[in-house]
Amino acid sequence: MTNGKKLIVGNWKMNGSAQSNFHLLTQLLRADLRFDVCDTAVCVPSVYLQQVKTQISDQIQGSKGGSIGLGAQDVSAHEEGAYTGEISVSMLREFGVSYVIVGHSERRQFHHETDQLVAIKAKRALGAGMTPIVCVGETSQERESGMTEAVVRRQLAAVIHLNGHCINEIVVAYEPVWAIGTGLTATPEQAQSVHAVLRAQLDAAGAENGRRIRILYGGSMNPANAKTLLSQRDIDGGLVGGASLKAVDFLSIIASA
């Protein structure tokens, strides 16, 4: 649910090293971020959660309040047990994780994640008090065949169906697959029109009165296009991949919000 502020989330994907993370975060934490107008978070590879958590909490002592939130890029649909390689919500919670991306198109594409699995992951995150960032989006082929609306509605419907009124606590990210990491961005009009569809679906599903679930745009967002995208009526923030790896670009996107 939105508190009226935009939300800008960096998705570092499988990038970085202990050294480069330290430099990137140092630059972000030194910047005079306006936490009164914009929430920010970084979703980092799980092996670096401890490093990033420590660096952020060291900075919080002595700050005026407000800081960068910590997020994960995926979570297991299972609670615990014989699931080699997976990471549970309770493990993420131990690292102070507040956001977890679920259903990123790279997980759907390369790990064959289904709408149903994504819905279960969202439920796990919600049950642990974390905010799932539920990604939806169409491929270029689906867009060309006029299926954009049907695809994103189907993906979101699975999450709504399983999570009922708890959907008030999710964040949705519209990420057209053809725009991710390609340098192609949805036009503000294209993005706004899909966001409006998602907003209507959330409202119809009973998003509580006066509450507004945040819907982020993701897909080659950069300093040049962020301002126009973020000024669209139904765009409440951004999920930023490539540009979140360069402090100057990420800070510029945050400034646009």
Which residues form the catalytic set? 104, 175
Q: Is residue 251 a contact point for ligand PEP (CB under 6 A)?
A: no
Distance of alpha carbon 163 from alpha carbon 156, whole angstroms: 11
How many chain residues touch ligand PEP (CB under 6 A)?
13
Give whichever of 207 and 253 is closer to ligand PEP, judged by the CB atom.
253
Q: Is residue 132 a contact point for ligand PEP (CB under 6 A)?
A: no
Give whichever of 97 and 174 is closer to ligand PEP, judged by the CB atom.
174
Q: Which stretch binds ligand PEP (CB under 6 A): 138-146, 158-166, 206-214, 219-227?
A: 219-227
Q: Is residue 219 a contact point for ligand PEP (CB under 6 A)?
A: yes
Give whichever of 74 and 175 is closer to ligand PEP, judged by the CB atom.
175
Distance of alpha carbon 42 from alpha carbon 31, whole angstroms: 15
Q: Is residue 245 a contact point for ligand PEP (CB under 6 A)?
A: no
Q: Which stretch binds ligand PEP (CB under 6 A): 26-34, 46-54, 190-198, 240-248?
A: 240-248
Q: Is residue 129 a contact point for ligand PEP (CB under 6 A)?
A: no
The 169-208 site mask, x for binding ligand PEP (CB under 6 A), equals ------x----xx---------------------------
Q: Choose which of 242, 249, 250, 251 interacts with ligand PEP (CB under 6 A).
A: 242
Question: Do 216 and 186 form a contact (C-beta atoms < 8 A)?
Answer: no
Q: Choose which of 241, 250, 251, 257 interacts with ligand PEP (CB under 6 A).
A: 241
* 32: three-class secondary structure by DSSP: coil
* 130: three-class secondary structure by DSSP: coil
Residue with the shortest CB distance to ligand PEP: 241
Question: Do 207 and 215 form a contact (C-beta atoms < 8 A)?
Answer: no
Reported in sequence order, the residue ranges of the chain that DSSP labels E, i.e. its strands, are 6-11, 38-43, 69-72, 99-102, 131-136, 171-174, 215-218, 237-240
Give the angle subtended at the CA of 182 by the CAs of 179 and 187, to the nearest 5°.
40
Give the contacts of 13 (CB within 8 A, at least 6 positions apart).
45, 73, 106, 241
Cβ 11 to ligand PEP, closest distance in Å? 4
Q: Is residue 11 a contact point for ligand PEP (CB under 6 A)?
A: yes
Tokens of 199: 């907003």
Give the contacts of 52 (CB within 8 A, at least 6 positions apart).
21, 25, 42, 44, 70
Binding region for ligand PEP (CB under 6 A): 11, 175, 180-181, 218-221, 239-243
